[in-house]
Amino acid sequence: MVYLDKIFLEDISQKIFPGNAPSEPQKELFLQRFNPNNYSYTNIGIAKHLEKMHDDPRYVNNVQANIKEIIKKIYRAFEDELIADRITKEQLGLTGKGKQGKKKAIEKSPWQIIYDWLWDTKYHRWSENYIWDTWSQEAQKNSNWMKFRELTTEYAARAMNVPVPDPIETLPQDTPLDLEICLNQAEGYLLLFNRGQNPEGEVQTKYLVAPSRAYAPKYKLEDNSLKMPQEDAACSDISFNAAGKEEYLGILIDESLDLPWLTTNTEEYALEWKASHLEELWNKLHGKNSCQKFYRDFEVVAAK
């Protein structure tokens, strides 16, 4: 199983079996039943395997009741999300009203409905927040690595001999800005992810800033820095059109990665990244000590 998948199942199990003394047979049954490697096995087959492993007849004796109880606990823990995703108690057999007649051959059982929801929907929501939070917590958070400045002239971002104004700590709304990244390393490639939230804390935008056609077609460091927008970028400045919080997560790697979404010769000005992009990057970089992470956030405020 992919390492991230295992963390996901363990995290879900902590939420549905809280407390100091969770139901051990149910927890073990959950971890095995909803493991992608075991999808083709029957409930009783998994229960027999657990019975043999733990020398405990409870796994087989109560398998169907335990599966139903696991589904109840998942529904209780994630009820709002399941309702929003149009998964009902009736579908999961939790209403106490049995269906009349035979089940259709194509109709999925309650555990299969939950399995599909966990891996097709919940997993990607979870992975996006888990990876972002994990990397931002590991990151260097000193403020010197990222500097936004107001443009004093239309061509200031392009001309190196224009006096450089002081960096700003809050970002003024609807104001042309440029950005300089300064790192204590002369070589490498910087992936720069942005996540924008409204004043209520809801994520509104998610962009890959570097590399991007909009701001940084080249993401290789030059003299330990990157300046944006670059000479050949599509945009002449960086600006924010709404108040809120802008987060930046920088990933510094030794060499470029062969990932299709890192190419900038597409019609997209800046990739709107998804959980799948972070998942792919996590799997590429996991366990590599040479990868460095940087984090910074800014408040966007109304211009004076």
pLDDT at 303: 76
**Residue range 181-210: mean pLDDT, rounded:** 93
**Which residue's structure tokens are 């403020």?**
143
Strands 171-172 and 292-301: parallel
Q: H or E stretch including 226?
A: strand 225-228
pLDDT at 177: 95
pLDDT tens string 10-65:
999 999 998 755 568 899 999 999 999 999 999 999 999 999 998 888 888 889 99
pLDDT at 157: 46
**Residue range 150-177: mean pLDDT, rounded:** 71
**Which residue's structure tokens are 């209520």?**
200
Q: H or E stretch including 275?
A: helix 275-285
% of the chain with per-residue pLDDT over 70: 89
Name the region of 250 (left: φ>0; alpha: ψ -120 to 50; beta: rest). beta
Least confident of 163-172, 186-195, 208-217, 249-258: 163-172
Confidence of residue 9 (pLDDT cuts 50, 70, 90): very high
**Which residue's structure tokens are 């003024």?**
172
Q: State how far the Cα of 293 lies from the Cα of 304, in Å rounded to an integer.
A: 33
Confidence of residue 140 (pLDDT cuts 50, 70, 90): confident
DSSP secondary structure string, 78-89? SHHHHHHTT--T
Q: Is the pLDDT of residue 225 over 60?
A: yes
**Residue range 96-116: mean pLDDT, rounded:** 74
Query: In this structure, what is the dihedral angle of CA atoms 118, 245, 262, 5, given to the nearest 10 degrees?
Result: -20
**Residue range 216-236: mean pLDDT, rounded:** 91
